[in-house]
Amino acid sequence: MRFGLWYHLRNPTPWKQPSVQLYADTLAQIEAAEPLGYDSVWTSEHHFVEDGYLPSSLLFLAAVAARTSRVRLGTLILLLPLHHPLRVAEDAAVLDLISNGRVDLGVAAGYRVEEFEAFQVPHKERGARMDEGLAILQGAWADGPFSHEGKAYSFRDVNVTPKPLQKPVPIFMGGQSRAAIRRAAKYGCHLLPSSTTEFNLVEVYHEALREHGRDPADFRIKCFRPVYCCEDRERGWDEVKAHYLYQHNLYRRWYREAGDSDAGELTNPDDLPRSSYIVGTPDDCERAIQDLHRDVPFDEFMFWASPPGFPIEQSTRSVELFAREVIPRFAGGPAAGG
């Protein structure tokens, strides 16, 4: 199994520091993590968030590329409908070239109405723009010029240059709805499910791949969760729970504004669903990952390395302890640890 680190670079008011310091500390942490055995670094994207949520994933990953030599560089995720897909194709190609072929492009449709309104993209068109965007990315990275005629984008005889080193850059689809999974299969995308589902995600994905004449063995599924690896489970929970509460409530508000949920916010961090977070000793982390893998046979586990406002010293200790005590247990595959 492979392991990666996932970053949002959020800087909320209760723990606010200069953004330049947050970025410098995060890049230093990533640079130090590569020789510890991590395989990838992933960044997310949102816009106009009061805590400074990273708005430019590919640009940040270019800085990571300059400081590393081996780890893969992934977006988890890039909000494809908010960008012109030709520009995404160009930017991803440049990043792939300067990183010597290390890019994984994770994309999703997005959901925050505020973002779509600000970029003057109709929220109701995001699914259709995903379809067009994926088709354009694939055409852009193929040899020679290509044309596209769609509702959102139309052009003739465009030749995106330079081409990426990888042929092509792997594309991962974010989401866990049946529609997202089927879209991933249709366009030959790997999968980045954001949570467990009430249906058999793998079964639906593999069936859809076969319907499109694709071999499921050629496609990968990755898993990601918040993780705080520490020496004592309860003490660790006390250290990190306020930061998880902030994150939990912000997402609840966003889902409510998007009409996807009517759940209210929590005031007590001890009311958080602890099963959504992996907090504990290396043994606890190993067991939790094994349990997740029994439900979804992923090939890589990425963890949210630094919750909003969490001290860099503590998150670095977690990253180091996980690398030292957890990663080696999976060296022979998912079951190697026990």
Residues 159-186 pLDDT 10s: 999 999 999 999 999 988 899 999 999 9
pLDDT tens for residues 193-229? Answer: 977 666 788 999 999 999 999 999 999 999 999 999 9
pLDDT tens for residues 59-81? Answer: 999 999 999 999 999 999 999 99
- On whether the CB atoms of residues 247 and 256 are closer than 8 A, the answer is no
Residues 6+ apart with CB under 8 A from 48: 55, 114, 115, 118
DSSP 219-255: --BEEEEEEEE-S-HHHHHHHHHHHHHHHHHHHHHHH
- Where b means 16+ CB within 10 Å and e means fewer, 296-308 reads bebebbbbbbbbb
- On whether the CB atoms of residues 76 and 302 are closer than 8 A, the answer is yes
pLDDT at 267 over 70: yes
Domain coordinates in residue numbering, the chain: 2-330
- On whether the CB atoms of residues 243 and 318 are closer than 8 A, the answer is no
pTM: 0.95
Q: Decide which of 3.10.290.20, 3.90.180.10, 3.20.20.30, 3.40.50.880 is the CATH code for 2-330.
A: 3.20.20.30
